[in-house]
Amino acid sequence: FRRELCRARTFGFMRDVKKLWACGRALGASLDNTVAVGEDRIMNPEGLRFKDEFARHKALDAVGDLSLAGAPILGAFRSVRGGHKLNSMMLHALFAAKSAWDVVETATARPRNREVVGHADIGFGIPQPAFAPQKA
């Protein structure tokens, strides 16, 4: 996650910026945290962080959207041209089909070289560890 996804920025088209700002959206967007797409090029002076930064950001969005399920999901996720709305619709459809899922107990994984400093109850009574940064 840290190496492959978390640095992938959201993106948007320069032609849409004024419309978005006018309706109170994307107010925190800047060239520091957003890939700005012009008519024929990337507007950010440094370019893309990854050749496939757009796809990585879509994957990052999916991770965030699926975390709204309230518990970790053990399964496969595949999306074509997905987005927040489609991911939300998928979760609603999944949970509406009660025969399509089940709550199971699993052991809590603890990555190597990490110190557990606490936990968060994310629902369903499933504690998740909170990890401290790796020690030098």
Residue 49 within any structural domain of the chain:
yes
Tally of domains in the chain: 1
Residue 80 lies in domain: 10-97
Q: What percent of the chain has pLDDT over 70?
A: 79
The answer as to whether 104 is a domain residue is: no
Q: Considering 57, 84, 92, 119, which one is annotated as catalytic? A: 84
Give the CATH number, domain containing residue 21. 3.30.1700.10
The neighbouring-strand residues paired with 134 are none
Residue 4, domain member (yes or no) = no
- Active-site residue flag, 57: no
Is 3 within a domain?
no
pLDDT band at 75 (very low <50, low <70, confident <90, very high): confident
Q: State the DSSP code for 64.
A: H
Band (117; pLDDT cuts 50, 70, 90): low
- Alpha-carbon gap, residue 122 to 91, rounded angstroms: 17
What pLDDT digit, counting tens, does each position of 15-42 carry? 999 899 999 999 999 999 999 999 999 9
pLDDT of residue 76: 87
Residue 6 and residue 48 in contact, taking contact as beta carbons nearer than 8 Å: no
CA angle at residue 122 from 120 to 124, to 5 degrees? 125
In a domain, 119, yes or no: no
pTM, two decimal places: 0.71
